[in-house]
Amino acid sequence: MDYIVGQRWVSHADAQLGLGIIVEVEPRRVTLSFPAVGEERTYAADSAPLTRLRFKAGDHISTVNNVELEVTSVKEKEGLLLYTGTDHHEQTVTVSELELDAFVQITTPQQRLLNGHFDKHSDFALRVSTLMQLDRLQRSSARGLMGSRTNLLPHQVYIANEVGQRHAPRVLLADEVGLGKTIEAGMIVQQQLLTGRANRVLILVPQTLLHQWLVEMLRRFNLHFSLFDDERLRETSSVDPLDDDPLLQLPEDNPFDAEQLVLCSLDLFQANPGYRNLALASHWDLVVVDEAHHLHWSPEQAGEDYHFVAELAAQSPGLLLLTATPEQVGLASHFARLQLLDPERFHSLTEFEREEREYRRWSEMAAQLEAGDRPEDLPAGLDPAAPAATLIDQILDRHGTGRVMFRNTRAAISGFPNRVMHRHPLPNPDSYAHASLDIAAALHPELPYHDDSWLAFDPRVAWLEQTLKQLRPAKVLVICARASTALALEHYLHLRAGIRSAAFYEGLSIIERDRAAAYFADENNGAQTLVCSEIGSEGRNFQFAHHLILFDLPLNPDLLEQRIGRLDRIGQEQDVEIHVPYLEGSAQETLLEWYDRGLNLFRESCSAGTMIFDTFQTRLLAQLEHRNDDFQTLLDDTAEFTARTRLELREGRDRLLERNSCKPEVAAAVIADIRANEDSDTLAAYLESLCEAYGVEHEFHSDQAVVLRPTEHMLTGHFPYLDDEGLTATFSRDKALAREDMAFLTWEHPMLVAAMDMVLSTELGNASLGTIKLRGIAPGTMLLECLYSINCVAPRSLQVERFLPLTPLRLLVDARGKDLAGLVPHERLNGLVERVNKNTALAIIKQVQADVESKMTLAGKQAQERLAPILVEAEQEMRAALGAEHDRLTALRRVNPSIRQQELDHLSYRMEECAIHIRHAGLQLQALRLIITT
Ligand SMILES: Nc1ncnc2c1ncn2[C@@H]1O[C@H](COP(=O)(O)OP(=O)(O)OP(=O)(O)O)[C@@H](O)[C@H]1O
């Protein structure tokens, strides 16, 4: 494709951009400015979704200077088109395509019909059915949630539905370990992308989870993220990775701009501060940060990673933070993360701490409201006459963590396995006498050894070997705190004990780590055991194993919970067997006792671990150093405190959060809608007609599954997502979950999305001609079937399309200009219309040309009349939605003076801008069929 600066192109992927103008051409990229929406876009030159706009003689064009021309001739000069025509003063004028008005509407169906370009009826029907399906999908409550290859779990579907529909969502996904936060984030990202709310997404994860995220996004959501690491950035940018001077001139070629979906490790920016400016200079619609509790923050000082994410958070409209243990590093730092999400709502730590103490009161109030009572002491600013559901939402928003935080607990979700604990006391060897020196050495007595001589006398080692042999062939995950321990153990098991094993620790490259994890996961020829340092205790999926050996214990209950969470997660089908070897009389034993008898952590997960730890820390540390008779009292006190805290959480904060994190009736309705889409045969039938239209071979594979293959007679050289090998795909979710080799075809599979887009962005089926026998109507009578869609050219940031329906406006005008659409539905007409041979069709069109044009004018007028109330309704809907946001901020401002007037003003401004664009929305003729009665 030859691009030349100044040429005019339209994006067929995004008609709302209006008419673009090429402003820069580079060897592999082309940049267009879209003046109608004030945006610039850069595309890869060989795959840009662009169509050159060429007018022909007879077309009407308008220029930026409001000159209207009817084109009489077209010439090309140095790659640019020059249009000559007559304006309304009958003057002959020549304008360059450079001067064309960017707010162009191209109504090609009429031009094609009158010029004798007729499509098959089946193609016309396909086009109309595409419009109808898109409209149905847009209105479906399952929109954006159909395509993921996952089980439909209510708590995930609820969150994805609630958050994914938001404009610029900013939330903390804090489900307890292993409940599927990655899946929730994937569903939200997918929904945001599919609905056009987001285009550019950046995901930041710990290095150990990069590959897992990459694979999960691809296999569950068909999302192709590009992995950016040091190597890739060095290859594509000249920035010095170590130079983080913010005033540095950034290169024009920002590598982050080259991809829409980027996955990076957060550590990359720690090690190479120079890359931060690059990432910040790129625009993101949505930033996702996994294991967000790692961001360093304390009331005295925030870490560089926190600052970096805070800067990203400030420039990106959407932000998802993920953590299973939000309070792992304390309440203050939990608050700091909430502040990243909603600085208006979370403006004062003291206030937040006070609120936390009141959760029980709000929880009880919500319960009262739900039971139909009206409490006397409703907080100020709430309308006692409002419906209970509204009041509950407002209480959650203003006094709980409301719309910002989602946390489902295992207690509320059934189907988790039991945890079974096995203690293994072992004699404490004399060589570890030094262990009482400090707590780290007491808990990990092998640490002071610079070689592996400790392996010979530490009884945990021989026990480990023996236990693994006993458990054979069961897979066993071994976790210890330090990399050196993991490495030494793995060497021992592998080289001296002959046990198939792999190590997983920070010294390995990402590829080596993933190779180790894959070796462990391999069912047939894989390792029996994986020995991990603490980095293996976070985020990874090892639920195919159900034996966990804790070679030592971390001094942090949330870390212990994370360790157990590797196995105790969704998909675990057996009881989780937790084995803990410990040295008798050592600090390890004391810690084990405290976790077990104090917190009961080996049997039940506990979301207040850190808080309980903080409460007893001093007493516990003293006991770890030197255990005495007070220990029993510490255990009793901890157990009593834990029981009380659990109860408080259940009745207070957790219940308040749960109320917000899964509403079963809403989830059930969405799931039913997703299922209804899967269970009907409409998709299969639609796919068949698509394949027929485009010449793709379509063959039965098995129940609910098909094989698609490209052929030599394809209409276009290429069909989206279909390579030479073909594609085996199923419409059944259950089959897709069991058969990873099959694609899961839903209305939201990228093949369907791209193919539907292809139908509407090309001319396929937009002009058709046929005959019909209708009793009682004189032969030779003309009917025109016209389908219009609403087209609103507006800056993308306004997201106007979410208020405008996609429902096509259909008219069937008869010879007198009367609309019969209501009497004869489209499907019925399809069954009655007969095709006409090309010569007859050309003869017909010659005869009725003038008549068609006048009927088109009538149809256009009628459609315009029908458009008016639709636009009024769209504006009302927009005002209601943005108005509610405005009201919320105004209400929050009463309790929180830090909300700036400027923000409220900006919302009002947005509302007015949206209103202007909605009022100027126009109609685009999508398809036209001329029918003559015989
Ligand atoms: N709806 C689902 N269908 C099928 N598998 C699922 C579903 N939800 C979660 N899983 C699987 O369960 C495991 C846990 O999910 P995920 O990794 O998203 O949990 P998490 O909450 O992020 O865990 P952690 O707290 O450990 O980071 C993964 O193996 C995931 O693939």
Q: Assign 3-class secondary structure to 317-332.
A: CEEEEECCCCCCCCHH
Centroid of ligand 1 to alpha carbon of 825 (angstroms) = 46
Does ligand 1 come within 6 angstroms of the Cβ of 150? yes
Q: Write the residue with the smallest CA distance to atom 30 of ligand 1.
A: 180
Least confident of 181-185, 705-709, 898-902: 898-902
Does ligand 1 come within 6 angstroms of the Cβ of 183? yes
Mean pLDDT of 359-369: 82
Q: Write the residue with the smallest CA distance to atom 16 of ligand 1.
A: 180
Mean confidence (pLDDT) of the chain:
86
Centroid of ligand 1 to alpha carbon of 179 (angstroms) = 6
Q: Write the residue with the smallest CA distance to atom 29 of ligand 1.
A: 541
- What is the pLDDT, as a whole number, of residue 796? 66
- What is the pLDDT, as a whole number, of residue 184? 96
Centroid of ligand 1 to alpha carbon of 821 (angstroms) = 49
Q: Write the residue with the smallest CA distance to atom 22 of ligand 1.
A: 181
Q: Predicted confidence band at 340 (pLDDT cuts at 50, 70, 90)? A: very high
DSSP track, 516-574: HHHHHH-TTTS-SEEEE-GGGGSS---TT--EEEESS--S-HHHHHHHHHTTSSTT--S
Atom of ligand 1 nearest to the CA of 541: 29
Probe target for ligand 1 pocket from 151, 190, 541, with the most ligand atoms within 8 Å of CB: 541
Structure confidence by residue, pLDDT tens digits, 125-151 = 999 999 999 888 887 888 899 999 999
Does residue 23 have a pLDDT over 80? Answer: yes
Centroid of ligand 1 to alpha carbon of 521 (angstroms) = 16
Centroid of ligand 1 to alpha carbon of 614 (angstroms) = 29
Closest CA to 85 of 97, 99, 95: 95
Centroid of ligand 1 to alpha carbon of 540 (angstroms) = 9
- What is the pLDDT, as a whole number, of residue 600? 92
Distance CA 198, CA 285 (A): 5
Does residue 633 have a pLDDT over 70? Answer: yes
Between 589 and 164, the more confident residue is: 589
The complex scores an ipTM of 0.98
Does residue 251 have a pLDDT over 70? Answer: no
Distance CA 327, CA 735 (A): 39
Mean pLDDT of 898-920: 83
Does ligand 1 come within 6 angstroms of the Cβ of 175? yes
Q: Predicted confidence band at 16 (pLDDT cuts at 50, 70, 90)? A: low
Cα dist. 714→528, 690, 696, 719, 747 in Å? 50, 11, 6, 8, 22
Looking at residue 24, the DSSP 8-state letter turns out to be E
Does ligand 1 come within 6 angstroms of the Cβ of 656? no
Does residue 250 have a pLDDT over 90? Answer: no
Does ligand 1 come within 6 angstroms of the Cβ of 177? yes
Q: Predicted confidence band at 246 (pLDDT cuts at 50, 70, 90)? A: low
Query: Is there a contact between 339 and 333 (Cβ–Cβ < 8 Å)?
Result: no
Atom of ligand 1 nearest to the CA of 291: 27
Does residue 547 have a pLDDT over 90? Answer: yes
Length of the chain: 934
Peptide bond before residue 473 is cis, with ω within 30 degrees of 0: yes
**End-to-end Cα, the chain, rounded Å:** 46
Does ligand 1 come within 6 angstroms of the Cβ of 292? no
Centroid of ligand 1 to alpha carbon of 676 (angstroms) = 25
Query: Is there a contact between 691 and 698 (Cβ–Cβ < 8 Å)?
Result: yes
SS3 content of the chain, % helix, strand, coil (to 5): 45, 20, 35
Does ligand 1 come within 6 angstroms of the Cβ of 151? yes
Atom of ligand 1 nearest to the CA of 150: 3
Atom of ligand 1 nearest to the CA of 183: 18
Does ligand 1 come within 6 angstroms of the Cβ of 156? yes
Q: Write the residue with the smallest CA distance to atom 12 of ligand 1.
A: 570
Centroid of ligand 1 to alpha carbon of 187 (angstroms) = 12
Torsion angles phi and psi, residue 109, rounded to 5: -55, -45
The domains found in the chain, sorted by start residue, are 8-106 (2.30.30.140), 121-132+764-933 (no CATH), 145-347 (3.40.50.10810), 358-400 (no CATH), 419-656 (3.40.50.300), 680-747 (3.30.360.80)
Structure confidence by residue, pLDDT tens digits, 686-698 = 999 999 999 999 9
Distance CA 845, CA 859 (A): 18
Tokens 């207690």 belong to 411
Does ligand 1 come within 6 angstroms of the Cβ of 153? yes
E strand spans, 371-469: 405-406, 419-426
Structure confidence by residue, pLDDT tens digits, 762-780 = 788 988 999 988 777 778 8
Probe target for ligand 1 pocket from 152, 159, 570, 662, with the most ligand atoms within 8 Å of CB: 570
Helix (H, G, I), strand (E, B), or coil: what is residue 69?
Answer: strand
Q: Predicted confidence band at 113 (pLDDT cuts at 50, 70, 90)? A: confident
Centroid of ligand 1 to alpha carbon of 178 (angstroms) = 5
Which residues define the annotated binding site for ATP?
175-182
Q: Write the residue with the smallest CA distance to atom 8 of ligand 1.
A: 180
Does ligand 1 come within 6 angstroms of the Cβ of 148? no
Does ligand 1 come within 6 angstroms of the Cβ of 181? yes
- What is the pLDDT, as a whole number, of residue 315? 92
Q: Write the residue with the smallest CA distance to atom 26 of ligand 1.
A: 539
Atom of ligand 1 nearest to the CA of 152: 1
Centroid of ligand 1 to alpha carbon of 183 (angstroms) = 6
Atom of ligand 1 nearest to the CA of 179: 21
Distance CA 815, CA 781 (A): 6
Atom of ligand 1 nearest to the CA of 566: 26
Does ligand 1 come within 6 angstroms of the Cβ of 182? yes
Atom of ligand 1 nearest to the CA of 737: 4
**Long-range CB contacts for residues 452-459, cutoff 8 Å, separation at least 24:** 452/488, 452/491, 452/492, 454/488, 455/488, 455/489, 455/492, 457/429, 457/431, 458/429, 458/432, 459/426, 459/427, 459/429, 459/581, 459/583
Tokens 């109808």 belong to 132
Parallel, antiparallel or unpaired: strands 29-34 and 39-44:
antiparallel
Does residue 741 have a pLDDT over 70? Answer: yes
Q: Residues 451, 452, 456, CA angle at the centre, nearest 5°? A: 140
Which residues define the annotated binding site?
175-182
- What is the pLDDT, as a whole number, of residue 233? 85
Does residue 823 have a pLDDT over 80? Answer: yes
Least confident of 26-40, 220-234, 504-518: 504-518
- What is the pLDDT, as a whole number, of residue 244? 65
Record the tokens describing residue 791, joined without a space: 């087209």
